[in-house]
Structure 1
């Protein structure tokens, strides 16, 4: 737990230190001084929007996010396509019989995916990160909300056993999950890992292609089902994409914003 707290403190302090060291911080702060407490706030830039975020000093930036209406629609389409594929798979498992454990897993996956209504845009949208890439900032006019989650203390696994979480500890890696039998690797030979920022990487989990990976708090590891066929790696990756566009933790607060213009600042 001490290492966990230190990791979060470093994330927060580095972001705020970088922010405070630039003139843009002063400008963004000036933009928000005297702003009324009524929500949603009206802002002229994404950085100014973050400066207006309630209890900004409590934000742990790897677990912050933005929402964009266009991305919401794309995420809904991915969920819809995945839902149809899982429904087809469930029907086939029922027809073949003798696959009740996997049928229960698919049902658990469907149930969880059905609860994921909130979305986000994957990436690091902290003020410090935005200042280092001024030409890659989304226009504030496209953003509908900002959010921040309480830092989780778990790593989530999606595999043939369903969905389960293991306590995060300092230095936790993919190989630890395999050693602890907290992860069934599936038939595809690789798993998808979604980090807190929503970035997706793939790692081999067989003897011939094994590649270890560190796991941050809130990481999600998705394995394919232990069945043969091209559909199963696709399902694994579709679940990863859905989770990458979901908020990075459970306990989140969100503030809608109104833009005064299309500034990228």
Structure 2
């Protein structure tokens, strides 16, 4: 089985690091031209360089800006008016008690995690439907099903993504455009690494060991009993983005190591 995205263009929000960057690399290695996005010029430039080093025969461009803002999304669309694969990966997370979270924090989580995907899908899906082919992927989370008590605003927005993706899949029925969600679990992304490095500072514990210990202690239902790598999540994204996944739409595809203890 060969994933071939030659000639396709993919736009990945929030992709200057972590799962987003890993997905961009996977798509570029499959032949897609990619547009990556982040809020800082230096990290976007570094991401572009990293992808070009892996897949120099495809077009790689960067777009700097906060895509939770309407004007920034409009600017992206003006510069890149069409794409074949849209990956709504932009997202933020935090641990905070529900009763200590402010309305402003809730507004930010909804704007970044949900509204950005709504806006980009509204911009790019009509042309996909017109062309008779397209892929829209929301990077949600197992927390959208297994909502953590200490991350309710994060889990709520991830549940909203699942509903949005399912509804959009139905809206695009019969058009050749598929819409799916990918649900990572605890993943050794750059943000998680930074968080763990802070927690183990002054000890001789390794980041990977500390991350895996966190999974065992806080997500005991995990079957793999470890964190996933960003590449493992990106592999699923690359498949769903490809022509090979043409019969998969409206699905919530888990890459969470079996944490969610349901059969379907």
Instruction: Give the TM-score, by structure 2 length.
Output: 0.26
Which is bigger in relative contact order (C-alpha 8 A, separation at least 6)? 1
